[in-house]
Structure 1
Amino acid sequence: MFTNEEIASFNELETSLYNYISQNIEKVAYMRIRELADATHVSTTTILRFCRKIHCEGFSEFKIKLKLHLETNNTTVLKESHHSVTEFFERTLAGNLEEKMIKAAGVVANADHIMFIGIGSSGILAEYGARYFSSLGKFSVYIKDPHFPIHTNILENSVTIALSVSGENNYTTTHIHQLKQKGSHIISITNTKHSTISKISDINIPYYVTEEKLEGSNITTQVPVVYILETIAREVHKQNRQLE
């Protein structure tokens, strides 16, 4: 909205005006010039000079600029956390999620080596998954370096559990290709089955919640992923106990 050069050119009164506008953009966009002058304790002349400094011919043009800014930078309205969890249970648990988790658990239970991969928040959960599986008796590791040397004999009867919200992360996709080519079975947990990662996986478990982003960051809830990971780990433990 305001460039660094424009802000640097403001005098003391104009800086005060700038601070008020920045904190009250939605209100200022519909004010008359006299109302803004009264609210900021500056003259209308100061406001007009301010408008010219940001390349607007007058206050009317400045308000149009403000409204356009609001339209293109709408603040994301975050859902309450329980809405996301409810959405997950309503959309997914009514389907075949349990069947997919049991199938995945069977593959994991029979594997000699378990590896988790992911990046960002998915990477944090991948590390958590490795620790949780290990705590329940199935030793697992989290690999975050796609070039980490892994011997082929380790991958012969291994399972890779890949986590990705979008299912399109290039790092994770590349890692999957490398592991898959060396014989590792791929289980992916993604937000949708219509993604690159889900399609190249042997088993895909989608959880379907509305994806949310805030200022470029993906803030989609990860509660479903925790639920799926813990359920699979417990099922693996159960199956292994039955074989004892």
Structure 2
Amino acid sequence: MFTSNQLAKFSDLDTILYQYILANGDKVAYMRIRELAEVTHVSPTTILRFCKKLDCDGFSEFKTKLKLYLDKNQAERVHDSYETMTEFLERTLMTDYQSTISQIAQLVAQSEHVIFLGTGSSGILAEYGSRYFSSLKKFSLAVNDPFFPIHGKYLKKSTAIVLSVSGETPHIISQVHQLREKGASIVSITNRKTSTVAQLADYPLSYYVNTEFIDDANITTQLPVLYLIETLGKATYKELNKG
């Protein structure tokens, strides 16, 4: 509704209007211009100039945009994390997750190097994953810089565990290609098995939860990712201590 460029052009009177609208949007959407002028102690002309700065031809168009903005915000439903995790665990019990995790654990246990790869919130979880595995006696590193150079012969005997909600992040896809070219084995943890990253992986793990956004921020739950990291970490620890 309000962009940073528009906010930068606001005068002191515009800021007063802006703050009142933020706090009372549901009322303003049904006000007449004189009513808004009275409660904010500005002139109707000031309100019209304010509307122009928001690319509206007049107060009526501004109110229409405001109503659409309010309707959109009310329509956004944030899914309960408990419900999402319960659904994921129920699906996990009905699928062959454990068999795949056992195969991955054997691979990771035999690898000379383990690399967790991710950016954004997945990058934070990559750091958590590397620390968790290292605590379980399998030293690993995290790469959360999308421009981190990937070179070296040691990658041939390594396993990369790639974290990506969408599985379509260009920089991650590029790094996965580089890792494959160097001979690394790829394990992916993504939200969809049909994503590009999952298709490039030797062992794809997918969790299938609702993708959620608030404006442009991806708030898709990462609880299944934590579950898979910890389950895989403990399975690897058991492999390392066999016999």
Alignment of 1:52 with 2:55, yes or no, is no
Letter aligned with residue 134 of structure 1? S
Q: Which residue of 2 aligns with 1:137?
A: 137
Contact 2:116 2:142 in 1 (8 A): yes
Q: 1:27 to 1:88 in 2, by over 3 A?
A: farther
Provide the rounded CA distance (Å) in 2 between the counterparts of 1:18 and 1:71: 18
Gaps of 5+ in 2: none
Q: Which residue of 2 aligns with 1:151?
A: 152
> By how many angstroms is 1:121 displaced?
1.2
Q: How does 1:62-101 map to 2 (within 5 A)?
A: 62-71=62-71, 76-101=76-101
Root-mean-square deviation over aligned CA pairs: 2.7
Provide the rounded CA distance (Å) in 1 between the counterparts of 2:138 and 2:89: 27
Contact 2:124 2:144 in 1 (8 A): no
Letter aligned with residue 7 of structure 1? F
Provide the rounded CA distance (Å) in 1 between the counterparts of 2:224 and 2:88: 7
Alignment of 1:114 with 2:114, yes or no, is yes
Q: Could you report, residue by residue, the CA deviation over 1:12-46 in whole angstroms, capped at 9, with x for unpaired residues?
A: xx6544421222212211234565466x1648xx3
> By how many angstroms is 1:230 displaced?
0.9
> By how many angstroms is 1:122 displaced?
0.9
> By how many angstroms is 1:78 displaced?
2.2
Contact 2:115 2:160 in 1 (8 A): yes
* TM-score where L is the length of structure 2: 0.83
Specify the SS of the correspondent of 1:7. coil
Provide the rounded CA distance (Å) in 1 between the counterparts of 2:36 and 2:135: 62
Larger CA deviation: 207-216 vs 160-169 = 207-216
> By how many angstroms is 1:204 displaced?
0.2
Alignment of 1:7 with 2:10, yes or no, is yes
Q: 1:31 to 1:206 in 2, by over 3 A?
A: same
Q: Sequence identity, in percent?
A: 44
> By how many angstroms is 1:228 displaced?
0.5
Specify the SS of the correspondent of 2:94. coil
Q: 1:18 to 1:238 in 2, by over 3 A?
A: closer
Specify the SS of the correspondent of 1:167. coil
Q: 1:139 to 1:57 in 2, by over 3 A?
A: closer
Q: 1:136 to 1:65 in 2, by over 3 A?
A: closer
Q: Which residue of 2 aligns with 1:125?
A: 125
Contact 2:20 2:40 in 1 (8 A): no
Specify the SS of the correspondent of 1:159. strand
> By how many angstroms is 1:229 displaced?
0.8
Letter aligned with residue 86 of structure 2? T
Q: Could you report, residue by residue, the CA deviation over 1:219-244 in whole angstroms, capped at 9, with x for unpaired residues?
A: 211111111111111111112222x3
Q: Could you report, residue by residue, the CA deviation over 1:49-72 in whole angstroms, capped at 9, with x for unpaired residues?
A: 234212366644442232244356
Q: Which residue of 1 aligns with 2:237?
A: 237
Q: Which residue of 1 aligns with 2:227?
A: 227
Q: Which residue of 2 aligns with 1:170?
A: 170
Larger CA deviation: 136-145 vs 159-168 = 136-145
Provide the rounded CA distance (Å) in 2 between the counterparts of 1:209 and 1:150: 34
Provide the rounded CA distance (Å) in 1 between the counterparts of 2:138 and 2:178: 23
Contact 2:113 2:155 in 1 (8 A): yes
Q: Could you report, residue by residue, the CA deviation over 1:171-213 in whole angstroms, capped at 9, with x for unpaired residues?
A: 2111111111111110111011011000011010001111112
Specify the SS of the correspondent of 2:198. helix
Provide the rounded CA distance (Å) in 2 between the counterparts of 1:196 and 1:144: 19
Provide the rounded CA distance (Å) in 2 between the counterparts of 1:108 and 1:134: 12
Larger-Rg structure: 1
Provide the rounded CA distance (Å) in 2 between the counterparts of 1:87 and 1:25: 36
Letter aligned with residue 93 of structure 1? L
Specify the SS of the correspondent of 1:187. strand
Q: 1:63 to 1:156 in 2, by over 3 A?
A: closer
Contact 2:136 2:234 in 1 (8 A): yes
